[in-house]
Amino acid sequence: MIEIRPFSLEHAEGVVKVILPIQQQEFDIPITLEGQPDLNDISGFYQQGKGNFWVALDGGEVVGTVSLLDIGNDRVALRKMFVAASHRGSEHGTARRLLDGAIGWAKMQGVKQVYLGTTAKFLAAHRFYEKNGFALIEKAALPPSFPVMTVDTRFYVLDCA
């Protein structure tokens, strides 16, 4: 049974074990843990304002992650949405449960828009976001406070209001 919980320090190692292999091995993104200082201070970086960070747990093991970063003006950036290959697909529902939890949280916090950036390589992610109500937008339509990552080439928004 997959359980979605807010991040706590006991999950830190598991978060890295899920995210880094997906970035480095599945998608050939040359990124390291040192290149992602947010992963070394998840509470300080994400669990502030209207932001938060969640993990999907299977028997206590981290199998997925998602976060919302408060970027001001009742807007958040969806980040670190990763699910281990073993827990992907509709039969598991891990990604859907992570996203639903994050969007539900955003609405309870009074968030008006959720923005996200992704790479051209994440084709399944594009379909997933579009299926879940996100609309493709141009980079120029992003709020100035949105943290564009160097690998991001596609951008989406979800209106929560």
Q: What is the pTM of this model?
A: 0.95
Q: pLDDT per position in the chain (161 positions), as tens?
A: 899 999 999 999 999 999 999 999 988 888 899 999 999 999 999 999 999 999 999 999 999 999 999 999 999 999 999 999 999 999 999 999 999 999 999 999 999 999 999 988 888 899 999 999 999 999 999 999 999 988 899 999 999 97
Taking CA atoms, 137 is separated from 19, 41, 140, in Å, by 25, 30, 8
- The total number of structural domains in the chain stands at 1
What DSSP string runs through 11-63? GHHHHHHHHHHIIIIIS-----STT-GGGG-HHHHHSSTT-EEEEEEETTEEE
CATH number for the domain spanning 73: value is: 3.40.630.30
- The one-letter code for the residue type at 77 is A
Rounded Cα distance, 150 and 98, in Å:
24
Bridge partners of residue 68, in order along the sequence: 52, 78
Token code pair at residue 78: 């969806």
Q: Which domain holds residue 14?
A: 2-159
CA dihedral 26, 27, 28, 33 (to 10 degrees): -80
